[in-house]
Amino acid sequence: MLTRSTTAWTIVALASLGLAPEARAQYGRPGKSAPPPAPPAAKDPDAKEKAAKEKAESRSYEKLDKEDREALQANVGYVVPMPPDSLKWIGGDAMGRADFRGKVTVIQSVGGKANVRAQLEKAKKALPEGAVLLGVHTPDGADRADETLEANPPCLVAVDASGEWCDALGIWKKPVNIVVDKTGAVRYVGLSELGLKTKVPELLAEEVDDSIMASEKPAPAGAAGEAGGDAPAPTEWPEFLSPVQNAQDMRGKTMPAFKVQTWITPAPDPAGRLVAMDFWATWCGPCVQSIPHLNDLARKYGTDVLVVGISDEAPGAFATGMKKLKKAPADFAYSLALDPSGGLKNRFFGVKGIPHMAIASPDGVIRWQGHPMTLQEADLEKLVAANRALSKPAAGKSTRGWAAAKDATKDAQKSR
């Protein structure tokens, strides 16, 4: 641990978590003769660039209904649902889960009255070289799939006349895409054409160890796991009793609202993940020594845990420090941000020495705290399992879904 008595430490947090209304720094109330506050651009010369990055990120996703987005999002971070035997495959051999590993696959749903061939051809053109396109035909118009796609289909197509796989994937009537990474896990859902062009190349460039396997989506709390295990899913968050050093123990408490001043890397989307905040600085030797460990954790658990390295250095000092370390943002497998303005690091956590890490669940409650080098995979496994089990599933919220629609039709026919 390193400390600096002459430096006031600041903290940062992620505005995209949406835990509370955006916090604003309070500087006291000026008198009537006080000049008006300087515009944001004068305080933050990088404001325009930051706003452009945030706008570009928002443009990476299609506008979807809340239920559609939630149903798709329920699979993010987990192995792609098992393709059922009821599927009819056009244009090639049937795919199993193992066939998704080692490649980046974009699943594009099609169906209804639209020209499904044109939809698939358009999706194929939007993909970078190396990505694999898989079409999934919904039950809507599935009886016409043969005559539409049998002759030279643009890609392999799974015709899901029963809707079983569509329901498992979260696919409803609006055409959507699902991006599966090299581990076989669902990484992104509902991307726009811009999102496909920017995020898919990043996945193609990832180097994935063969030992890293995508995790199975857990069964509802109290039920046996889908992966074959008999142990029930966690029904509460794990407790870690090791003493917290060089900071106040805030485990079990909820963080107040916060924001970062500058994102070094693109602003991330937590998307229901745990958020691991690593407070560090480029001048801190133990902080730098923790980078490889955090890179390993971010690569292995990135679909479940958003790791963010937070420095309170000024932009110029941070850039100089990175240069001395001979490092670039690309050398980090996790997000980087700056917040020289102060905040939670002092007033909430009371950090007196770095590096220091805190992990928050999606509701903003601190679940783990300590030196990043003491964070082991076993700790993250417990936290990830709890977050998955305790997250509210999208299923059951409405009659949305192909199976529900069929049941409703049957009920209507019986009542006649």
pLDDT at 50: 67
Give the mean pLDDT of 369-394.
87
318 and 46 in contact (C-beta within 8 Å)? no
Whether residue 416 has pLDDT greater than 80: no
pLDDT at 190: 94
pLDDT at 399: 57
Helix axes 285-301, 377-390, angle to 10 degrees: 50
Measured in whole angstroms, the distance separating CA 373 from the mean position of its chain's CA atoms is: 23
Give the mean pLDDT of 152-174.
93
Whether residue 159 has pLDDT greater than 90: yes
Q: How far is CA 233 from CA 172, 221, 325, in A?
A: 28, 5, 43
Give the mean pLDDT of 398-410.
66
Contacts of 240 (CB under 8 A, 6+ apart): 251, 367, 368, 369, 370, 379
pLDDT at 103: 94
- The H or E element spanning position 135 is strand 132-137
**Neighbouring-strand partners of residue 89:** 158
**pLDDT confidence tier of residue 317, bands split at 50, 70 and 90:** very high
13 and 258 in contact (C-beta within 8 Å)? yes
178 and 189 in contact (C-beta within 8 Å)? yes
Q: Could you tell me the sign of the dihedral formed by the alpha carbons of 102, 329, 200, 78, in that order?
A: positive
Q: Which residue has the higher pLDDT, 7 or 351?
A: 351
Q: Which residue has the higher pLDDT, 307 or 396?
A: 307
pLDDT at 258: 61
Q: Which residue has the higher pLDDT, 192 or 6?
A: 192
Whether residue 225 has pLDDT greater than 90: no
Q: Give me the percent of the chain exceeding a pLDDT of 70.
A: 79
Length of the chain: 416
Give the mean pLDDT of 101-127.
93
Q: Which residue has the higher pLDDT, 38 or 259?
A: 259
What would you measure as the largest C-alpha separation in the chain, in angstroms?
80
**Structural domains of the chain, with CATH:** 15-21+241-390 (3.40.30.10), 75-205 (3.40.30.10)
d(CA 242, CA 273): 24
With 0.75 as the threshold, say if the pTM is over it: no
Whether residue 230 has pLDDT greater than 80: no
Q: Give me the percent of the chain exceeding a pLDDT of 90.
A: 56
pLDDT at 48: 73
**pLDDT confidence tier of residue 38, bands split at 50, 70 and 90:** very low
Residue found under tokens 């889960």: 97
Contacts of 201 (CB under 8 A, 6+ apart): 128
Least confident among 122-131, 155-164, 262-271, 352-361:
262-271
Q: Could you tell me the sign of the dihedral formed by the alpha carbons of 38, 39, 45, 47, in that order?
A: positive
d(CA 256, CA 240): 22
Q: Which residue has the higher pLDDT, 58 or 254?
A: 254
pLDDT at 14: 37
DSSP track, 240-300: --SPPPSS---TT-B------SEESSPPP--TT-EEEEEEE-TT-HHHHHHHHHHHHHHHH
Neighbours of 31 (CB within 10 A): 5
pLDDT at 232: 67
- DSSP for residue 354: B
362 and 336 in contact (C-beta within 8 Å)? no
Structure tokens at 50: 């930051």
pLDDT at 170: 94
**pLDDT confidence tier of residue 215, bands split at 50, 70 and 90:** confident
pLDDT at 238: 94
Find, among 360, 383, 362, 358, the residue nearest to 280 by Cα.
358
Q: What is the mean pLDDT of the chain?
A: 82
